[in-house]
């Protein structure tokens, strides 16, 4: 595994193709569980989303649901770009 220097990561800005893998590696560092992102654009079924989140969590997943505030965000980016980054960073996506 390559060592990533801080100066290298400071110059990298998502979504530059040469930096995507470096930044993704840094964001995934230290994860203990696989991550699944659940699409939460259907607000009328919030109770179903909460149940699904509980089931996936008990099955060993780290669950990201934007409605629950569990999706990592960077204030330098818009909501859409943060969502795209999260989909790119997760191990599985449930839409």
Q: What does the pLDDT look like over 24-77, one tens digit per residue?
A: 777 777 778 889 998 877 667 888 888 999 999 999 999 998 878 888 888 888
Q: Over 50: is that where the pLDDT of 23 sits?
A: yes
- More confidently predicted of 4 and 69: 69
Token pair, residue 3, equals 């060592």
Q: What is the pLDDT of residue 9?
A: 47
Whether the Cβ atoms of residue 42 and residue 58 lie closer than 8 Å to each other = no
C-alpha dihedral (87, 90, 94, 95), degrees to nearest 10:
0
Question: Can you give the pTM of this predicted structure?
Answer: 0.67
Q: Kindly give, in sequence order, each residue whose CB lies less than 8 Å from that of residue 43, ignoring residues fewer than 6 positions away.
A: 67
Q: What is the pLDDT of residue 1?
A: 41
- Give the pLDDT mean for 9-37: 71
- More confidently predicted of 7 and 49: 49
Residues in the chain: 95
| C-beta neighbour count of 39 within 10 angstroms | 14
- Give the pLDDT mean for 13-25: 66
Between CA 64 and CA 34 the distance in angstroms is 11
């Amino acid at each position: 595994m390559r060592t990533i220097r801080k100066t290298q990561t400071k110059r990298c800005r998502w979504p530059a193709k040469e930096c995507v893998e470096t930044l993704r590696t840094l964001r995934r560092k230290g994860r203990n569980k696989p991550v699944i992102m659940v699409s939460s654009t259907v607000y009328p079924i919030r109770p179903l989303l909460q149940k699904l989140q509980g089931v996936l969590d008990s099955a060993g997943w780290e669950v990201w649901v934007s409605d629950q505030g569990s999706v990592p965000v960077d204030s330098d980016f818009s909501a859409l770009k943060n969502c795209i980054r999260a989909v790119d960073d997760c191990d599985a996506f449930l839409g």
